[in-house]
Structure 1
Amino acid sequence: MQTHHFSNRGHSKILHIPSLALVLLICLVSPTSSCTEQEKASLLQFLAGLSQDGGLAASWQHATDCCQWAGITCRQDTTITDVLLASKGLEGHVSESLGNLTGLQHLNLSHNSLSGGLPLELVSSSSILVLDISYNQFNGTLPELSASTPAQPLKVLNISSNFFTGQFTSTKWKGMENLVALNASNNRFTGQVPTHFCNTSPDISVLDLSFNRFSGSLPQGLGDCSKMIELRAGYNDLSGTIPDELFNATSNLSTLDLGGNNLSGKVPDSIGQLKKLQELHLNNNNMSGELPSAVSNCINLIIIDLKSNNFSGELANVNFSNLHNLKTLDLLYNNFTGKVPESIYSCSNMTALRLSGNKLHGQLSPRIGDLKYLTFLSLGKNSFKNITNALHILQSCRNLTTLLIGQNFIGEHMPELEKVEGFEKLQVLDIGGCPLFGKMPLWISNLANLEVLVLSNNKLTGSIPAWIKALKHLFYLDVRNNTLTGEIPTILMDMPTLMSENKEAHLDPRLFELPVYKSPSLQYRIPIAFPKVLDLSNNKFTGEIPLEIGQLKAVLSLNFSFNYLTGRIPQSICNLTNLLVLDLSSNNLTGAIPGALNSLNFLSGFNISNNDLEGPIPSGGQLNTFPNSSFDGNPKLCGSISLTNVILQYTRPPENNEIRNLLSQLDLVCSLEVLLFCCCWCDSFSQSR
């Protein structure tokens, strides 16, 4: 089976197109004599149109045989058949002269920085079979073909990831009778999805229109594409319902991706006719209703992605035991009710199961242990009960790396187990927002591979236990919004992955089976993409910030706000040069602000408000970029940063009443500093006069 690489925004994929085998297995035989002068001239004309040639000029010497030039392939009769110049650093416009290569079959200019329009001569070529200009900066509309244009041999056209605009009119595809695969994804095409693809190109098997600006409803005519294998129109502005006709005729369909649109209505019962369907993506739409039992007939399904819709009813309508090949089931953010159907546990090849954000209830079934390959399980934000039983059952899922079960088990107690068997591979654990009573449990110390731990928004009491040091790979700790007490333990300052800037996650950095969402618009696809975070905010911690805080040189976000911390801001905190967020607000901190905080050049979030700090605000650095609200609630603080900027706008020394007006507008001002500044300003002004 021959493969051809197609891509859409951010995700590469390989399309398997059996019918293209003869197209892509182009003979690569070394020539026995030189190419023609006409073909050489066409190549040199193309080269002359480039503003950056990526070193081609050094290879393409006029006096040499162009069949020996980089990226050029000829057949035995010296006719050029392939021009393969992907990822060569090319910039500039593409000359229509390439259309003069009468034997050219395969033209690949992908992954460069080419711009301008797509020459008509390439689209209307009488020889090109495969044309790939993806991942460039081409723009404008596609060329219009005349009504008299004969059928072209073009079989594969990849124009994805450019800046093409305009609509898909019938004249743009005149003559494309032999087209088998079209990837127009990640452009700026508008208008409706054309109905004529199936008539113009009856052999079309791959159609990717995703990540554009198509609008209107899905045309019923797409159901006439009897040879369609892959249909992608996700992330446009499509609306309306999915027509039954789409499923009636496209019985060969293996991939249907309509996610990221405004589609409404139910999943048609006719979906059951897609016996070869492997991927179903209807995520991020406005679809509703119950899932039809006919989904059970799609026995080859590998991926079902229905997240972020309004689907409802019980999942028991679908007999999942028929879906033996199912690996990913993502139903995040819907309105499904009832219990998790037992038939799901018959999907023995399941690797990722996400049921979060629904209205499911009951207890976990012991049968979940049958999912031996399960690595990703997300059950958060439902109404599941009995966390002790849940953890006991989940121990048998030995391959789990991600377990997200927060916002369930409302008002229960954190299991006080000393040890749990299993979870040897667990990297991410979220039991936040339940709210659970009790203490940070000892059994977590056995999770030797844990990297991300979220226990926030519970009712946990007691101190941070000494066993936390056993988690050698932990780099994300979120225990905010609990009732934890005691001092901030110095053992937290010895966390290896927060101390070393070069220490990355120790395990295989493969993608999560499904993205982990921190918010609807923020997702993480690999564990090490999580920022390095220490969040102890909204608790009852007392004492001083440990001086050893300066050891955490890799931390990006440090939040100790809303506690009862005392003492000074330690000078060592200025060593944390990677900090993006520092929040020490709403404590009882005293003393001056360390001037070296100004050197934390990456700070984008900073708050030390509502403490008892004193003295001037350091000026002339990063702290100048934050609003007064970052310093409010410290009556002994002062600073002339904002006042200086205002006074410098005067073309004469300000009068006393003007100074009083300025003082009344600024909260953070030292009167003595202002007077000294004004005196110096007046002296300077007088001397300049």
Structure 2
Amino acid sequence: MQPLQYSYNNRKSEMLHIPLLGVSLVLLLFLASPASSCKEEEKTSLFEFLNGLSQASGLTSSWQNDTNCCLWEGVICNGDRTIIDISLAAMGLEGHISPSLGNLNGLLKLNLSGNLLSGGLPSTLLLSSSITVLDVSFNKLSGEFHELQSTPNSAMKVMNISSNFLTGYFPSTTLEGMKNLAALNMSNNSFAGEIPSTICVDKPFFVVLDLSYNQFVGRIPSELGNCSGLKVLKAGQNQLNGTLPSEIFNVTSLEHLSFPNNHLQGTLDPECIGKLRNLVILDLGWNGLNGKIPNSIGQLKRLEELHLDNNNMSGELPPALSSCSNLTTIILKDNNFQGDLNHVNFSTLSNLKFLDCRSNKFTGTIPESLYSCSNLIALRLSFNNLHGQFSSGINNLKSLRFLALAHNSFTNIRNTLQILSKSRTLTLVLIGGNFKHETMPDDDEFHGFENLMGLGINKCPLYGKLPNWLAKLKNLRALLLDDNKLSGPIPAWINSLNLLFYLDISNNNLTGDIPTALMEMPTLEAAHSAPIILKFPVYLAPFLQYRTTSGFPKMLNLGNNKFNGIIPPEIGQLQALLTLNLSFNNLHGEIPQSVGNLTNLQVLDLSYNNLTGEIPSVLERLHFLSKFNISSNDLEGPVPTGGQFSTFPDSSFFGNPKLCGATLMRHCNSADAVPVTDVSTEEYADKVIFAVAFGMFFGVGVLYDQMFLFRYIYFG
């Protein structure tokens, strides 16, 4: 057939072109389609699957009885009209997986991941002699994974059943017949029992085993050393104990070895570590390991990530660590490492992005060689014994966004701020717990901090006042100046920080009235706005490592100062507040009725002031209030009984002898009421004073932080 020639000068040719083109398209579709419809018995199996779904998303419009099922959405057939592939990932499917899919004798791949499917996993899929790839991850499958005697000729190569609610013991019998298995991912379920020693038997192609986020117990079987081709071995977030078997280190093909969050003990054997020349990721954090990092780690030339945090390891860092030139991440926090960091030549680690050595016993100064790591994004050396002044070399770190050096013995805060303020990249700076008894610089010479979102200069304690240069930090979201000796009033420019939503200036000597400017902060006024997210990846708990992002509470903490005057009625404008702490001041007058407008409030502490009058009944509207404290004031009248008030302990009301109510020792209208005994400030503070704090710090590939509500922690 000759190609159709089209000419703008030939109207007849133009008229013929459109219908001929349509015929051509139909012909092409016909040639691309199977010769005839799919097999009737396979269509029946698909309909049985469809009928088992309570929510089939868009499938019902595509899967029609009078159409060729080889053309249905997610279905692929071969030239013999046999279904070989079903891909229905993230389709919003709900319901059960029908066993009928196991009747598709030519099915090679089945992907139902990322849906809301529930019930058990049909045994017909596990016993299939044709399926090579089975992916049902990220669903709601449940029940025990029953032991099945799989067929000797099983074709299964990849099985991903992760992120479900499956229970029971390890299905060793089911897996024994899967001789071709290359990758098995059972992570993020509730499997229990011991890891069987037979898992590697007769599996010459086995390269990936992920058992993390389950409830496995016992020792790591030494027989895993028989998985000679294994590249990925992950079993973190379980309850494994004992030591790392030396046989595992014979698997020289390993690229990813990960056992964090278990109960492992012992040391890192120098001879064993040096064998894993192909290792890229080593993660043994959150265990009970002790001893040193062996010098043989320098032989791991491909190593990119080293995680040994939260163990009992000690000793100095080996100089050979500088030979691991591909390292991007070093996480050693919460150990007992010591010595001078200058023993490691960081200038050879040009790829380093994240260095976390928090809570160790390192001494000396920050290594100058560290400032050669031009790709460094996050540096965390808080809670060590470092000293000296900051070097201007830190400005060579053009990618640095997160800096946490709190609780060391650094000096000269003026010099520190002059250096750091020149950075155009810093997003978070935590330098509290240093500069002991120095004076907070208060001038306009600091220019920079253009992208700073979080600043912590707390627990120093610094003298001076709230510095005017803070008014320049227009991107600031969180400001921590607590536990200093700052004095004077809150400046009127505070409301110019339009993005500020977390302010902690507690435990200072600040005076004056609480300014109405503080009641005009835009991010605290927007009650129905979306939660503000600081883009710091988070470390919430050992079982959610480096995986999530968190919003921080909108908080105003002015506690333990010398503020006087009344609580401004305008406080009711801050309808987005989650935490309000005005405790331990000299405030007087009544609790404003407008506090009842703070309907998102979770924590309210007005204790240890000179407040009078009754507790406003409008506070019963605060349905999210979980912490409430008005102790040691001069309040009177009945305690409200509605809303959350029935849940608060008596200690919330101590030191107000004129209060009465069913939950107190003084009953209203009772002449025989027993007076409430006051308590000392020190005794009460030990029992009920609270602080809300947040920490921001980093982890694998990204920054992370930690947030504990109603629980006092240190920052950095």
Question: How would you bin the TM-score normalised by the shorter chain?
Answer: 0.7 to 0.9
Name the aligned partner's letter for residue 43 of structure 1: L
- 1:19 — aligned with what? none
CA offsets 1:604-637 (integer angstroms, 9 cap, x no match): 1111111111222233333233222222211222
1:240 and 1:607 mapped to 2: Cα distance?
A: 47
Worse overlay, 621-630 or 405-414: 621-630
Q: SS state of the match for residue 589, structure 1?
A: strand
Distance 1:641 1:142, change over 3 A: closer
2:170 and 2:59 mapped to 1: Cα distance?
A: 35
Is 1:125 equivalent to 2:128 in the alignment? yes
- 1:314 — aligned with what? 340
- Where do residues 456-535 of structure 1 align in structure 2 (5 Å cutoff)? 456-503=482-529, 511-512=535-536, 515=538, 529-535=551-557
Worse overlay, 527-536 or 244-253: 244-253
CA contact (8 A) 1:265 1:289 kept: yes
CA offsets 1:124-166 (integer angstroms, 9 cap, x no match): 323222211112232344343538623x333322111122234
CA offsets 1:621-669 (integer angstroms, 9 cap, x no match): 332332222222112222346799x99xxxxxxxx9xx999x559999x
- Where do residues 107-186 of structure 1 align in structure 2 (5 Å cutoff)? 107-146=110-149, 149-150=152-153, 152-168=154-170, 170-186=172-188
- Where do residues 67-106 of structure 1 align in structure 2 (5 Å cutoff)? 67-106=70-109
1:505 and 1:424 mapped to 2: Cα distance?
A: 23
Distance 1:291 1:32, change over 3 A: farther
Q: Return 5+ residue gaps in structure 2 as ranges.
A: 1-31, 255-276, 679-716
Q: CA deviation at 1:211?
A: 1.4
Q: CA deviation at 1:596?
A: 1.1
- 1:368 — aligned with what? 394
Q: Which protein, 1 or 2, shows the higher relative CO under an 8 Å CA cutoff with sep ≥ 6?
A: 2
Q: Percent identity?
A: 58
CA contact (8 A) 1:60 1:66 kept: yes
- 1:566 — aligned with what? 588
CA offsets 1:452-497 (integer angstroms, 9 cap, x no match): 0000011111111223233121111100111111111111011111
2:461 and 2:677 mapped to 1: Cα distance?
A: 39
- 2:25 — aligned with what? none
CA contact (8 A) 1:238 1:262 kept: no
Distance 1:530 1:86, change over 3 A: same
CA offsets 1:289-344 (integer angstroms, 9 cap, x no match): 44333433332222222333333333334332222211112222333333322222
Name the aligned partner's letter for residue 355 of structure 2: L
Name the aligned partner's letter for residue 163 of structure 1: F
Which one of 33, 36, 43 corresponds to residue 36 of structure 2? 33
2:174 and 2:362 mapped to 1: Cα distance?
A: 44
Distance 1:386 1:448, change over 3 A: same
CA contact (8 A) 2:654 2:676 kept: no
Which one of 475, 480, 492 corresponds to residue 454 of structure 1? 480
Q: SS state of the match for residue 101, structure 2?
A: helix
- Where do residues 194-343 of structure 1 align in structure 2 (5 Å cutoff)? 194=196, 196-197=198-199, 200-220=202-222, 222=224, 225=227, 227-242=229-244, 246-247=248-249, 249=252, 250=254, 251-343=277-369
CA contact (8 A) 1:80 1:103 kept: yes
- 2:403 — aligned with what? 377
Name the aligned partner's letter for residue 167 of structure 2: T
Q: CA deviation at 1:575?
A: 1.5
Q: SS state of the match for residue 485, structure 1?
A: strand
2:303 and 2:341 mapped to 1: Cα distance?
A: 20
Distance 1:62 1:148, change over 3 A: closer
Distance 1:476 1:207, change over 3 A: same
Distance 1:527 1:548, change over 3 A: farther
CA contact (8 A) 1:30 1:74 kept: no
CA contact (8 A) 2:538 2:549 kept: no
Worse overlay, 196-205 or 341-350: 196-205
Distance 1:145 1:127, change over 3 A: same
1:44 and 1:312 mapped to 2: Cα distance?
A: 66
TM-score (norm 2): 0.79
- 1:590 — aligned with what? 612
Distance 1:408 1:246, change over 3 A: farther
Distance 1:237 1:415, change over 3 A: farther
Name the aligned partner's letter for residue 280 of structure 1: L
1:415 and 1:33 mapped to 2: Cα distance?
A: 83
1:495 and 1:525 mapped to 2: Cα distance?
A: 31
Name the aligned partner's letter for residue 101 of structure 2: L
CA contact (8 A) 2:152 2:178 kept: no
- 2:189 — aligned with what? 187
1:660 and 1:623 mapped to 2: Cα distance?
A: 24
CA contact (8 A) 2:161 2:186 kept: yes
CA offsets 1:659-681 (integer angstroms, 9 cap, x no match): 999x559999xxxxxxxxxxxxx
- 2:14 — aligned with what? none
1:335 and 1:498 mapped to 2: Cα distance?
A: 40
Q: CA deviation at 1:540?
A: 0.6
Distance 1:401 1:143, change over 3 A: same
1:667 and 1:523 mapped to 2: Cα distance?
A: 47
Distance 1:377 1:220, change over 3 A: farther
- Where do residues 650-689 of structure 1 align in structure 2 (5 Å cutoff)? 663=673
- 2:438 — aligned with what? 412
- 1:22 — aligned with what? none
TM-score (norm 1): 0.82
Distance 1:115 1:156, change over 3 A: same
Worse overlay, 238-247 or 398-407: 238-247
Which one of 563, 566, 572 corresponds to residue 544 of structure 1? 566
Q: SS state of the match for residue 511, structure 1?
A: strand
Q: Return 5+ residue gaps in structure 1 as ranges.
A: 1-28, 648-655, 669-689
2:48 and 2:319 mapped to 1: Cα distance?
A: 61
- 1:44 — aligned with what? 47
Distance 1:173 1:262, change over 3 A: farther
- 1:672 — aligned with what? none
Name the aligned partner's letter for residue 135 of structure 1: F
Distance 1:243 1:520, change over 3 A: closer
1:34 and 1:411 mapped to 2: Cα distance?
A: 84
Q: CA deviation at 1:409?
A: 2.1
Q: CA deviation at 1:46?
A: 2.6
Is 1:620 equivalent to 2:642 in the alignment? yes
CA contact (8 A) 2:149 2:177 kept: no
Aligned residues: 623
2:539 and 2:120 mapped to 1: Cα distance?
A: 40
- 2:712 — aligned with what? none
Worse overlay, 603-612 or 227-236: 227-236
1:48 and 1:504 mapped to 2: Cα distance?
A: 39
- 1:686 — aligned with what? none
Which one of 632, 655, 659 corresponds to residue 637 of structure 1? 659
2:534 and 2:209 mapped to 1: Cα distance?
A: 29
Which one of 593, 596, 603 corresponds to residue 581 of structure 1? 603
CA offsets 1:479-538 (integer angstroms, 9 cap, x no match): 0111111111111011111112245688xx6732x5378x99999999971111110000
Worse overlay, 105-114 or 309-318: 309-318
Worse overlay, 200-209 or 376-385: 200-209
1:463 and 1:86 mapped to 2: Cα distance?
A: 59
CA offsets 1:414-445 (integer angstroms, 9 cap, x no match): 22332312211000001111111221122212
Q: CA deviation at 1:88?
A: 3.5
2:162 and 2:546 mapped to 1: Cα distance?
A: 25
Q: SS state of the match for residue 362, structure 2?
A: strand
CA contact (8 A) 2:143 2:166 kept: yes
- 2:686 — aligned with what? none
Q: CA deviation at 1:36?
A: 0.7
